[in-house]
Amino acid sequence: MNIYVLLKRTFDTEEKISISNGKIEDEGAEFIINPYDEYAVEEAINLRDEHGGEVTVVTVGEEESEKQLRTALAMGADKAVLINTEEDLEDGDQFTTVKILEAFFKDKEVDIILGGNVAIDEASGQVGPRLAERLSIPYVTTITDINIDGKTVSIERDVEGDVEKVETSLPLLVTCQQGLNEPRYPSLPGIMKAKKKPLEELELDDLDLDENDVEAKTKTIEIYLPPEKEAGKVLEGEIDDQVKELVSLLKNDSKVL
């Protein structure tokens, strides 16, 4: 099977994030594989081990993304591809990413593409479905179980706490949800092997694209941190007095009434 994984380098939301001039300070941020993409990497490896074939991890980004690709290789992926946009693009959006990936997959024989359900930095969930549309292949989002029998694929997907069962066929794109599997940690032998595994680097020219072809269709106006939470207030006294005070606070302080 020809198995591909879409991977994104994201900042770690559990670390302290600093914002300067409307942008996240890269120097102070810790970057990781987007957690939902880890489910995609793990499932791709499981599918390869069950059905044979090869797992290729692909990312669109800057030179620093090589670290996250090497981590995916250490987990067990076979090959990695970095489509380096550092020299060609200052900003991009989901349209940009999909346009680049569409050009990359144009001449590839694909059985299945896996990606994360969302990226934790922008959480749009658009790249997977939009890419599938451009490639004219079926897609299923938020999957929590997948079984492949020949060309037939049986899937369970999360739908707001319930489960929907879907049957479709290869080639296929899926996006992975928490609960699909438990991503493995790279082992020391895996880390050592990853250093020797192929990591191809491409640029827009290699895909017959230029800046105008992938110009963003949206613009980020502002990035800001949520306000710090204030200490709560305990209401005391008789129930009737507490209710009156609560109503007053909601009306005058919180402005929700």
Point out the least confidently predicted range of 102-111, 192-201, 229-238.
229-238
**Cβ within 8 Å of residue 79, ≥6 positions away:** 54, 55, 56, 57, 73, 197, 198, 199, 200
CATH 3.40.50.620 domain extents, the chain: 2-214
Tell me if 175 sits within 8 A of 115, measured CB to CB. yes
Give tens-digit pLDDT for 137-189.
Answer: 999 999 999 999 999 999 999 998 899 999 999 999 999 999 999 999 999 99
Tell me if 228 sits within 8 A of 109, measured CB to CB. no
Average pLDDT estimate for 198-215: 92
Residue scoring higher pLDDT (141 or 22): 141
CATH code for the part of the protein at 2-214: 3.40.50.620
**Angle, alpha carbons 66-79-136 (nearest 5°):** 100
- Listed in order, strand segments (DSSP E) in the chain are 2-6, 9-11, 19-20, 23-24, 31-33, 54-61, 79-84, 112-116, 139-149, 152-159, 162-169, 172-176, 199-202
pLDDT the model gives residue 11:
84
Share of the chain above pLDDT 70, in %: 99
Q: How far is CA 137 from CA 113, 114, 156, 208, in A?
A: 10, 13, 18, 23
pLDDT the model gives residue 143:
96
For the cut 80, the answer to whether the pLDDT of residue 29 exceeds it is no
Identity of the highest mean pLDDT range in 10-14, 87-91, 92-96: 92-96
For the cut 80, the answer to whether the pLDDT of residue 15 exceeds it is no
Q: How far is CA 192 from CA 67, 160, 198, in A?
A: 14, 41, 13
Give tens-digit pLDDT for 110-146.
Answer: 999 999 999 988 888 999 999 999 999 999 999 999 9
Residue scoring higher pLDDT (33 or 30): 33
Give tens-digit pLDDT for 51-63.
Answer: 999 999 999 999 9
d(CA 181, CA 157): 13
Average pLDDT estimate for 29-40: 92
Q: For the chain, give the mean pLDDT.
A: 91
pLDDT the model gives residue 28:
67
**Angle, alpha carbons 5-6-7 (nearest 5°):** 110
pLDDT classification of 38: cutoffs 50, 70, 90:
very high
pLDDT classification of 256: cutoffs 50, 70, 90:
confident
Average pLDDT estimate for 79-107: 91
